């Protein structure tokens, strides 16, 4: 699809910026370059086309594509380690072949609706292409990716049409047309959610129009004096980072999905970035926003550091997951690019010592921008993903291992690793490093070096491709997360692991499930814990059904152990059945009443957050035990 | 009225705490002691009974009562300075005598309502005492205080009844009774608002029941491990501080009203404390809350450091100003009492240099807990409130003044002062002091010593009595505030001062109005600016009407200069006419739709935040120019 031509920013946006801060020399960046043809995204799974893990006949694994460090290098250790960790004989030649693309339902589009839409939108801004429609109807839950690759029968409903509006005015026109023709509208940002948020309600009989926001991707203005920028909701994280950096600024928001996810999506899901210790979560970064809703266009006259004015557009839209309207732009805080960025890594005797270190770090110091602690299993996995060393580097690595295990007595099957990213002025970073190292010593931590820190941090982007890779080899995997008070961090991790092991054993699942935890975000009262879970499913009669049972069991255990429904992934449709366990009936009634008031026609009928669910679905589902 | 007997905490509260963090040794503090009879509050104005300024026949002013430092000392310089600043000959014997208490309307209470209430509440928990009813129907706007002292004709409606429930269950019963009998319910915390938030809509024909929350004032539990506490909404700031300190903790929330205002009130108005740089604003401190609403009791199963779960009880109730329900308790973050607390003060050549210092402070360092900059007029006022020195102290003071004005060349009619409060570990405070002093030097600042800093910070509590004092001498005064981007701080202050001077001149107001600004809270993108405004009104035909016009003009100028509707005072009924200037029509429609959905009977019918206003009031008031 063609993208909108560049051109001057509508004058009213500049006027709006000037009204906010008269006399300030506002920067109006040029429109971002069209997405490089060299960076197409794949449609049948996560990430960039041409990137991904591959199992060679030799048994070595290789990360294809030149984007990430450590790619195109044979990793001989991964497969043996997976075999051992999962206690399964994985045969490189035994592949579960993908049948992507599945057959998808025909679009149901009344001609009158199409006619109006074609008039309201520029040429080339509508498509009924089946692959595009399919892509706009799912995120990245295990069930969704399994469905598009292996089991098209799980796809009963996808958007009937995808549209690419250029402007908030066109979105307002879409809502008006949707109202006249009783169609549903579903905003689409990066499509990276893992909550079934984009999955269309099977019972939805009305036409479903996916509203792709990729053409609303401009930085409207940068106010360098007050350090704010107005950015359109479809701006993608990696582009935004690059464009702001040209002016010496950063937003500092780096969720694991930052390569693909968008500003609007971050707001709609309460996103959290890996560097939130320094820059804050999305609710700390967004000062103001605009949206198109069933009641009209929400906007605010100015942008202020803080306000007590009852109404707060942000509060209504944060975490709304597409169910209340379409966010079109936001004013965000900016930070100067850090003078210094440094990585480090620490090893701890065990996960518990690492947690104790994080606890003290969150209270006694201002923690570095990013601090993440992985448990032993994840540490072992990261070691197998390390390109093999040779010559002097190999000797050095062996020596280090000897020091850690023999001299310091760390057990290879117990130790945990922590990666750190420092950002700030040289002076601040020096002071933070001093404080961190002193604290690490108190907890028996060993420094493992900047290289390991950098690798550990950047591994996130590579690891995201692992799930799709192992799926080819009959392994189902997923990540999930929670927030939990400090006192519960360690027990929650243990309980979730134990529960999943027990549930898998009870179901006779072959081998051993893979369950691993890391602590990724620190707060004064607690932390975010992030899990990976995988198991070998070949031979199971209903692998996805089994997976869903197990995932529910894990969430059940999280809630029992004092964890939250989610830290930053959200609810979507995946976890809405749990809402009655977490909120009082009156709170649920408020939520429903609010939705009803703000979207009386259920125009934004994607069904996320809704306990009752879409029409046709029983309002009272049995609550999990 | 008798207070509830102490006693064990209902078991479900302890259970709730344990569910949040199993195994953590939760502290259940004893109920707070009954309010000391020695601390009665006055009903005809601000503060404690027996406290307040008095003008002696000698022309000296004295602050009565032993509570504040500098009280019971004659201040000979205040009156001459006020005469000069306002350019008015104030005669100490020319007093505007208060006619408090005014005649108030008779209560309108259907006997059936009273019968049910008497059954649902403990004995002694209801009163129709006229003074209590009057007190529960106003806050501390100039118009309200003027009305109770001088012009009872301005009071057309007050609550018909005041009730003192003991528990959330009783509040739920009140809401049910209110629904059966179509009565309005108005939560009452400290009664310190300055937004007409407690003023009853004149057109309200239904019975109005003020729900005084002073008996819901317990700390239900303290979780010392995760540093959280569950506190009832009626807990008063000063009691809360004292009780938490017994366990080594602080909430760190110190709004100017902290002596009287309550946790529930802070939440309902989006309060901000003087030490927010270190501890955050109320939205940063409250992790969770419970409330009774028209749809039932809102509650949440757990308390988490952060959550993405769509629903967020806090978001609904923050800034709701009594219009959506009654907040009954909240879980808040705790901080250990600071190891070190130190004061300091700085002098700057002028207000602009001070603002430049604050700007850099907010960006280059982590600012001290409290940093406040007063302009020259307010600096002069604070000097006249300083007890006179004698002997060596006098010499020292003269020497200091000589150094500042002669050696450093600061002009007495231009310089500005900044007070600082440092809190934290000894090491952190030392580092902050170093950074602050280096930055102050860069901006030509001079250190003025810890004593001046302490006095400047604590003056806030004494100054609160000034307004009622000058009112006796025909001077009307008020404070108002805004939040504004950094680039606008200085021009906004200038414009508001100029506008008020011009508006007063245009109206032929005698002498010179007193308009002074201080910068009280720092953000990365801007600051909070707080104004005092006063003028001499003797001889004016409609002093309060004139005042209201002037106050609207000031707000108009604030909005034109890029400021917000409010930083932390809120909207209430005082500023709701401005909402259409600040939010788009759709945003206002959302707000109304939400209110309608959450409170379909307008049970919480106090009319705050409502653009349409209560029934009978024209929906379309003329927007200010």
Average pLDDT by consecutive 10-residue portion of chain B (625 residues)? 39 67 85 75 94 92 88 92 95 94 96 97 96 98 98 95 97 98 97 97 96 96 96 96 97 97 98 97 96 96 92 90 97 97 97 98 92 97 90 88 88 96 94 95 95 86 92 97 97 98 97 97 97 97 97 97 96 96 93 92 92 43 33
- Of A279, A465, A530, A536, the active-site residue reads A530
Residue to substitute from A303, A525, A560, interface B, most B β-carbons within 10 A: A525
CB contacts, 8 Å: B597 with chain A: 590, 593-594, 596-597
State how far residue B575 is from chain A, nearest Cα, in angstroms: 9
Task: Determine the pLDDT at residue A402.
Answer: 87
Q: CB-CB: which of A482, A569, A586 is closest to B298?
A: A586
With CA atoms as reference, the chain B residue closest to A269 would be: B308
Contact B526 A223 (CB under 8 A): no
Residues whose CB is less than 8 angstroms from the CB of residue A231 and which lie 6 or more positions away in sequence, other chains included: A218, A219, A220, A240, A263, A329, A330, A331, A332
- Region at B416 (left for phi over 0; alpha for psi -120 to 50; beta for the rest): beta
Cα A314 vs. chain centroid, distance in angstroms? 20
Cα angle for residues B141, B144, B145 (degrees, 5° grid): 90
Chain B residues touching A563 at Cβ < 8 A: 302, 304
Q: Is A530 a catalytic residue?
A: yes
Gap from B25 CA to chain A (nearest CA, Å): 11
CB contacts < 8 A, A to B, total 309
Residue B225 has its nearest CB partner, among A287, A364, A486, at A486
Query: Measured between CA atoms, how close is B313 to chain A, in angstroms?
Result: 7
Average pLDDT over all residues of chain A: 92
Contact state of B306 with A571 under an 8 Å Cβ cutoff:
no
Task: Write down the pLDDT at residue A396.
Answer: 87
| Distance between B169 CA and the closest CA of chain A, angstroms | 15
Q: Which residue has the tokens 């007093």?
A: B95
ipTM rounded to 2 decimals: 0.94
Q: Provide the Cα torsion A141, A144, A146, A152; round to 10°.
A: 180
* CA B5 – CA B533 distance, rounded (Å): 44
Between B21, B565, B588, which is nearest A487 by CB?
A: B21
Phi-psi region of B47 (alpha: psi -120 to 50; beta: other; left: phi over 0): left
Q: Name B341's bridge partners.
A: B423
CB contact under 8 A, A582 and B19: no
Q: Do B559 and A525 touch (CB under 8 A)?
A: no
Q: Do B304 and A488 touch (CB under 8 A)?
A: no
For residue A610, the chain B residue with the least C-alpha distance is B310
> What pLDDT is recorded for position B36?
64
Best of B266, B305, B490 to mutate (most A CBs within 10 Å, chain A) = B305
Could you write out the three-class secondary structure of A69-110? CCCCCEECCHHHHHHHHHCCCCCCCCCCCCCCCCCCCCCCCC
Residues of B in contact with A308 (CB under 8 A): 269-272, 319, 566-571
Region A128-137 average pLDDT: 98
From B569, which residue of chain A is nearest by alpha-carbon distance?
Answer: A308
| CB-CB under 8 Å, B566 with A485 | no
Tell me the nearest-neighbour CA distance from B82 into chain A, angstroms: 33
pLDDT score of B35? 63
In the block, which residue shows the tokens 């702001």?
A244
* Chain A residue with Cα closest to B362: A226
pLDDT band, very low/low/confident/very high, at A609 (cuts 50, 70, 90): confident
User: Per-residue pLDDT tens for A378-388?
Assistant: 999 999 998 88
| Beta carbons of B217 and B32 less than 8 angstroms apart | yes
Number of residues that make up chain B: 625
Q: pLDDT for A179-237, tens place per residue?
A: 999 999 999 999 999 999 999 999 999 999 999 999 999 999 999 999 999 999 999 99
- Give the number of other Cβ atoms within 10 Å of residue A274's Cβ: 22
Q: Which residues of A touch B294 (CB under 8 A)?
A: none
At residue B70, the pLDDT reads 82
pLDDT of residue A8: 41
Task: Provide, as residue numbers in chain B, all residues whose Cβ is less than 8 Å from the Cβ of A300.
Answer: 582-584, 587
Tens of pLDDT, residue by residue over B460-512, are 888 899 999 999 999 999 999 999 999 999 999 999 999 999 999 999 999 99
* For B229, nearest residue in chain A (alpha carbons): A525
Instruction: Compare CB distances from A307 to B488, B566, B587 and report the shortest one's residue.
Output: B566
**pLDDT class for A9, splitting at 50, 70, 90?**
very low
CA distance A559 to chain B (A): 9
The pLDDT value recorded for residue A14 is 66
Distance CA B189, CA B233 (A): 8
Q: What is the pLDDT confidence band of residue A37, given thresholds at 50, 70 and 90? A: low
With an 8 Å Cβ cutoff, are A567 and B313 in contact?
A: no
Nearest to A5 by CA among A131, A104, A124, A112: A124
State the catalytic residues of B: 530
Shortest distance, CA B367 to any CA of chain A (angstroms): 13
Is pLDDT at A462 greater than 50 in this prediction?
yes
Q: Residue B293: list chain A partners with CB under 8 A.
A: 586, 590
Q: Residues B92, B93, B95, CA angle at the centre, nearest 5°?
A: 95
Burial of B526 (0-12, 13-18, 19+ CB in 10 A): buried
Q: Which of A301, A363, A598 sits opposite B581 (nearest CB)?
A: A301
CB B352 within 8 A of CB B492: no
B196, B141 Cβ separation under 8 angstroms: yes
Interchain contact, B485 vs A559, CB within 8 Å: no
Q: Mark yes or no for CB contact A304/B563 under 8 Å.
A: yes
Distance, in Å, from the CA atom of B29 to the CA atom of B42, rounded to the nearest integer, reads: 29
Query: Per residue in B159-190, pLDDT tens?
Result: 999 999 999 999 999 999 999 999 999 999 99
Verify whether the Cβ–Cβ distance A583 to B301 is below 8 Å: yes
Q: How many CB atoms lie within 10 A of CB B518?
A: 26
C-alpha distance from A383 to closest chain B C-alpha (Å): 31
Give which of B340, B318, B337, B339 is closest to B227, Cα–Cα: B337
- Report how far residue B597's alpha carbon sits from residue B612's, in angstroms, rounded to the nearest whole number: 16
Query: Is the peptide bond between B136 and the residue preceding it cis, with omega within 30 degrees of 0?
Result: no
pTM score of the predicted model? 0.95
Identity of the residue in B293, B308, B483 whose CB atom sits nearest the CB atom of A586? B293
In chain A, what residues touch B257 (CB-CB under 8 Å)?
A: none
């Amino acid at each position: 699809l063609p993208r909108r031509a560049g051109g001057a920013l509508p004058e009213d946006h500049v006027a709006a910026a000037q009204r906010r801060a008269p006399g300030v020399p506002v920067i109006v960046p040029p429109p971002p370059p069209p997405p490089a043809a060299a960076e197409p995204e794949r449609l049948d799974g996560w990430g960039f086309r041409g990137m991904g893990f591959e199992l060679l006949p030799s048994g070595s694994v290789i990360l294809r594509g030149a984007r990430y460090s450590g790619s195109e290098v044979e990793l001989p250790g991964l497969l043996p380690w997976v075999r051992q960790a999962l206690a399964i004989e994985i045969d490189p030649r035994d592949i579960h072949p993908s049948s992507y693309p599945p057959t998808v339902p025909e679009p149901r589009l009344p001609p009158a609706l199409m006619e109006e839409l074609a008039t309201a939108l520029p040429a080339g801004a509508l498509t009924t292409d089946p692959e595009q429609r399919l892509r706009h109807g799912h995120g990245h839950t295990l069930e969704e990716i399994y469905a598009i690759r292996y089991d098209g029968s799980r796809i009963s409903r996808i958007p009937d049409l995808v549209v690419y509006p250029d402007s908030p005015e066109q979105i307002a026109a879409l809502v008006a047309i949707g109202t006249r023709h009783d169609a549903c509208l579903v905003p689409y940002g990066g499509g990276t959610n893992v909550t079934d948020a984009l999955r269309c309600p099977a019972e939805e009989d009305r036409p479903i129009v996916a509203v792709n926001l990729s053409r609303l991707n401009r930085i409207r203005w940068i106010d360098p004096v007050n350090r704010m920028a107005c950015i359109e909701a479809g701006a993608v994280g990696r582009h935004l980072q690059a464009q702001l950096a040209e002016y010496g600024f950063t937003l500092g928001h780096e969720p694991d999905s930052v390569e693909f996810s968008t500003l609007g999506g971050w707001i709609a899901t309460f996103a959290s970035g890996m560097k939130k210790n320094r820059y804050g979560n999305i609710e700390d970064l967004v000062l103001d926003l605009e949206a198109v809703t069933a009641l009209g266009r929400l906007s605010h006259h100015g942008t202020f550091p803080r306000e007590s004015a009852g109404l707060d557009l942000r509060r209504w839209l944060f975490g709304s997951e597409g169910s209340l309207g379409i966010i079109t732009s936001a004013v965000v805080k900016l930070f100067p690019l850090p003078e210094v960025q440094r990585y480090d890594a620490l090893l701890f005797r065990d996960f518990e010592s690492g947690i104790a270190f994080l606890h003290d770090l969150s209270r006694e110091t201002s923690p570095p921008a990013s601090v993440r602690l992985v448990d032993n299993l994840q540490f072992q996995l990261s070691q197998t993903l390390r390109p093999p060393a040779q010559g002097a580097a190999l000797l050095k690595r062996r020596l280090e291992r000897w020091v850690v295990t023999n001299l310091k007595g760390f057990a290879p099957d117990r130790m945990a690793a922590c990666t750190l990213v420092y950002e700030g002025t040289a002076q601040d970073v020096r002071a933070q490093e001093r404080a961190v190292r002193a604290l690490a010593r108190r907890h028996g931590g060993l420094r493992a070096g900047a290289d390991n820190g950098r690798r550990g941090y950047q591994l996130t982007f590579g690891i995201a491709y692992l799930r799709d890779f192992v799926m080819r080899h009959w392994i189902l995997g997923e990540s999930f997360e929670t927030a939990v008070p400090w006192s519960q961090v360690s027990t929650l991790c243990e309980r979730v692991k134990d529960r999943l092991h027990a549930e898998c054993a009870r179901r006779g699942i072959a081998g051993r499930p893979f369950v691993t935890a890391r602590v990724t975000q620190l707060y004064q009262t607690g932390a975010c814990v992030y899990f990976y879970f995988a198991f070998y499913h070949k031979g199971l009669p209903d692998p996805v059904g089994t997976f869903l049972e197990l995932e529910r069991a894990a969430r059940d255990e999280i809630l029992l152990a004092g964890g939250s429904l989610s830290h930053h992934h959200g609810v979507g449709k995946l976890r809405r059945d749990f809402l009655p366990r977490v909120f009082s009936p009156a709170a649920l009634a408020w939520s429903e009443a609010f939705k009803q008031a703000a979207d009386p026609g259920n125009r934004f009928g994607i069904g996320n957050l809704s306990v009752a669910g879409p029409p046709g679905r029983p309002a009272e589902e049995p609550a999990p035990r």
